[in-house]
Structure 1
Amino acid sequence: MSEHGRTRVLLVDDDVRIGRALGLALGDEGVDVDAVHTGEQALVSAARPGVDLVLLDLMLPGIDGLTVCRRLRETGDLPIIMVTARSDSADVIAGLEAGADDYVTKPLVAGELAARIRALLRRRRPTPAAPRRITVGDVELRPDEGTVLRDGAPVHLTRTEFRLFAELAAAGGRIVTRDELLSRVWGYEYHGDTRLLDVHVRRLRRKIELDPDRPVLVLTVRGAGYKVGGPGPDAALPGAAPASGRGG
């Protein structure tokens, strides 16, 4: 957060003109932009205090955007929105698998981008009225602390992964549709694009499931959405699909 209480975004893009134009446009939206142009500069600048979010182009000289994203994820949960010139599945899924919270495609529209930034930064913990502890199998979620434990050991989730798991856990085994999760976790409509959700479910499973390929805690209900289960013979409920594939 800047000294004036405004949101501060680190823009990583090798096109200097885009940095200048976006800085001016987002400034009118209440967002201050610090622009850097290489992956190496991004890793240094992101470690400095005051950065609220990283807007990261995938195509960079030197260290590429995917590598930058992975390294930032290894060191913390700073929100990351990746920028891609193409909306095809390969680019988007690669960026999300690397740890991005969200994605936007060029050309960038300042008003829409500012809305995405605000929605992502609102993603904190669930409301204080949420239960102090929720148990799903051998995993314990503590909404008021923003922590997750598996067999008593901390599990590091990004802010988005935590919010996703909290929404599913709070439903207590009821099915939560994809549209409901997109609305509650990301805060805006995606017009049927569920890649964002499905990749985050896969990332969540890799962290909390003993066998992510045979999930028992976060279950896919074909044609409906997702729900939480628990280990044991009743976990593989009818309609539960494996973690592989586009359905999550």
Structure 2
Amino acid sequence: MPAILVVDDDPGIVRLVRSYLEQAGFKAKSAFDGATARRLIRTERPDLVVLDLMLPDDDGFEIARALRSDPATANLPIIMLTARVDDTDRIVGLELGADDYIVKPFNPREVVARVRAVLRRAGGGAVVRNRIELGCLVLDLDAHQAWLAGHELELTPTEFALLSLFMRYPGHAFTRAELLEQGLGYAATGLERTVDSHIKNLRKKLDADPAAPVIETVYGVGYRLRNV
């Protein structure tokens, strides 16, 4: 039973999200401030964090940055939850390594669906070890590990899901909508541009030479993986 930590300073939102998560079969815990959230993440080790950006004592961006910079939590799936509607905030969150971003007000069923999609991308429930090897890139889908030229990559669940899709179909040009649906597990209009932020992060981890990126831009279409 995956454990989800819901972090928000609004008790009503926390109760609502926890109720729907528990009805869906998840084990849910809650925190109403950043200090409690950080402590529970260290001690309880949740499988995913639903993280509000506006907390009374902390900033969700700072918490996400700290989680991604700590090897113990670098791969912890994060879904950001916020009342902000500015695309800049969404892009900043994704560039910090958030796996998804939900704007208030929201349908709690959507939160459950997003949690399931992100956990699937994180590799939960795999029972047969299998690997994808393409040139100097290697993915172990069961262990949820990736290597480039023998060096292990620290990938978020979303980055891992995108890379595994690219490696299954090298040379194929995917549209942003296809990457959302086939790689990330859901279709949503208006979110295609968020793929750009995930690709930007992935390129930083893959590319020694920015002039010859492993993931190429196909203008007017989307992205494809070149031979490596």
Residue 153 of structure 2 is matched in structure 1 by 155
Residue 44 of structure 1 is matched in structure 2 by 39
Residue 243 of structure 1 is matched in structure 2 by none
Query: Is the counterpart of residue 226 in structure 1 residue 220 in structure 2?
Result: no
Report the Cα distance in structure 2 between the residues aligned to 1:129 and 1:117, rounded to whole angstroms. 23
Report the Cα distance in structure 2 between the residues aligned to 1:168 and 1:25, rounded to whole angstroms. 33
- Cα deviation for residue 172 of structure 1 reads 1.8
Query: Is the counterpart of residue 29 in structure 1 residue 24 in structure 2?
Result: yes
Alpha-carbon deviations, 1:131-152, whole Å to 9, x = none? 734225x444344543222232
Equivalent position SS for 1:48: helix
Report the Cα distance in structure 1 between the residues aligned to 2:167 and 2:21, rounded to whole angstroms. 36
Kindly provide the amino acid, as one letter, of the partner of residue 165 in structure 1.
L
- Cα deviation for residue 23 of structure 1 reads 2.4
Change (3 A) 1:133 1:35: closer
TM-score under structure 2 normalisation? Answer: 0.87
Equivalent position SS for 1:226: strand
- Cα deviation for residue 201 of structure 1 reads 0.3
Question: For 1:109, which of 98, 107, 110 is the aligned residue?
Answer: 107
Alpha-carbon deviations, 1:157-211, whole Å to 9, x = none? 1122111111112112121222221112221111142132111100001111013
- Cα deviation for residue 220 of structure 1 reads 0.9
Change (3 A) 1:32 1:125: closer
More RCO (CA 8 Å, sep 6+)? 2
Q: Give yes or no for contact 2:21–2:112 (8 Å, CA) kept in 1.
A: yes
- Cα deviation for residue 92 of structure 1 reads 0.6
Report the Cα distance in structure 1 between the residues aligned to 2:130 and 2:26, rounded to whole angstroms. 34
Gaps in structure 1 of 5+ consecutive residues: 232-248
Question: For 1:18, which of 9, 13, 22 is the aligned residue?
Answer: 13
Kindly provide the amino acid, as one letter, of the partner of residue 22 in structure 1.
V
Change (3 A) 1:116 1:67: same
Change (3 A) 1:107 1:58: same
Q: Give yes or no for contact 2:17–2:111 (8 Å, CA) kept in 1.
A: no
Change (3 A) 1:160 1:14: same
Range with bigger deviation, 56-65 or 13-22? 13-22
Equivalent position SS for 1:149: strand
Matches within 5 A, 1:147-226: 147-212=145-210, 214-226=211-223
Q: Give yes or no for contact 2:53–2:82 (8 Å, CA) kept in 1.
A: yes
Report the Cα distance in structure 2 between the residues aligned to 1:12 and 1:113, rounded to whole angstroms. 13
Range with bigger deviation, 143-152 or 101-110? 143-152
RMSD: 2.4
Equivalenced residue count is 224
Report the Cα distance in structure 1 between the residues aligned to 2:172 and 2:224, rounded to whole angstroms. 6
Q: Give yes or no for contact 1:93–1:195 (8 Å, CA) kept in 2.
A: no
Alpha-carbon deviations, 1:98-146, whole Å to 9, x = none? 111001111132111111111111124498899734225x444344543
- Cα deviation for residue 19 of structure 1 reads 1.6
Query: Is the counterpart of residue 134 in structure 1 residue 129 in structure 2?
Result: no
Q: Give yes or no for contact 1:84–1:92 (8 Å, CA) kept in 2.
A: no
- Stretches of 4+ aligned residues off by more than 6 angstroms: 126-131
Equivalent position SS for 1:96: helix
Query: Is the counterpart of residue 100 in structure 1 residue 95 in structure 2?
Result: no
Equivalent position SS for 2:131: coil
Which has the larger Rg?
1
TM-score under structure 1 normalisation? Answer: 0.81
Q: Give yes or no for contact 2:131–2:138 (8 Å, CA) kept in 1.
A: no
